[in-house]
Structure 1
Amino acid sequence: MERKSNNWKMRKIFKGLLMLFFLIVLPFIIMSLWNAILPEVLNATTINYWQALGLFILSRILFGGFRCGGPGKCEKRGFGKASIKEKFMNMTDEEKAVFKERWKDRCKR
């Protein structure tokens, strides 16, 4: 049990660091690409880090969302309420018992 708890904590720390990395590095990449390409091609002005961060957040909201990779994909992956309910209704009694035990174990953390 101790090992699972440490593994879960390490995963959470890693995901947090990865998110921080992307929030710091991706705007620099966006800014560099914008400033290297668009001023010459479209006669646009250059942008700074904060504008690039704003563009990144806006593009994630408009085109990708922040979870599941985009609109409607959560349901396709089985995370939507209807799909879980459908899967649960189609399970045998043994499968339902195993499913409930797994969720009990997850909630104990």
Structure 2
Amino acid sequence: MNFRIRCVGKALLGVIAIGVLGGIVMTLWNWVIPALFVGARTIDFVHALGLLVLSRILFGGFRGHRGWHGRRHWRKWESMTPEERELFRTAWRAGRSRRTGA
């Protein structure tokens, strides 16, 4: 029962977030674009959602920022001994300093 409530709550939160983001995109577009470009039209909510999806596809993807890969790396880090962790830190710092030239 608790699992269902959590799933429904997450789905409801997702729908609300999509609606709010679509409203923000629509408001910003209608405020900025017609004032800057002659002949630009205002958009409605459905077009704002389409613009939001298009921008996610072109610029951000749908993967999120850590997700499954972050947990996998964390498990690997947790399984390391303190000596392995220190060796990893020194190798990481050496690689970073070589790339930045510091």
TM-score bin, normalised by smaller chain: 0.5 to 0.7
Spell out, residue by residue over 1:48-78, the C-alpha distance to the aligned partner (whole angstroms, 9 max, x if none): 1111110111111222222323xxx457523
Q: How high is the TM-score relative to the length of structure 2?
A: 0.59
Q: Given the alignment, which residue of 44, 50, 54 partners 1:48?
A: 44
- Looking at structure 2, the residues matched to 34 and 23 of structure 1 have their Cα atoms a distance apart, in angstroms, of 16
Q: Given the alignment, which residue of 50, 66, 77 partners 2:70?
A: 77
- Looking at structure 1, the residues matched to 54 and 25 of structure 2 have their Cα atoms a distance apart, in angstroms, of 12
Please list, as runs of the form range in 1=range in 2, the aligned pairs for 1:1-109 lying within 5 A after superposition. 6=2, 8-43=3-38, 44-69=40-65, 73-74=66-67, 77-79=70-72, 83=73, 87=76, 90=79
| Larger RCO, structures 1/2 (Cα 8 Å, 6+ apart) | 2
Q: Which runs of 5+ in 1 are unaligned?
A: 93-109
Task: Give every structure 1 segment of 4 or more consecutive aligned residues whose post-TM-superposition deviation is greater than 6 Å.
Answer: none
Aligned residues: 80
Q: How high is the TM-score relative to the length of structure 1?
A: 0.56
Q: Percent identity?
A: 42
Q: Which runs of 5+ in 2 are unaligned?
A: 82-102
For the aligned residue pairs, the C-alpha RMSD in angstroms reads 2.9
- Looking at structure 2, the residues matched to 32 and 48 of structure 1 have their Cα atoms a distance apart, in angstroms, of 9
Spell out, residue by residue over 1:20-67, the C-alpha distance to the aligned partner (whole angstroms, 9 max, x if none): 112222212211110011111233221111111101111112222223
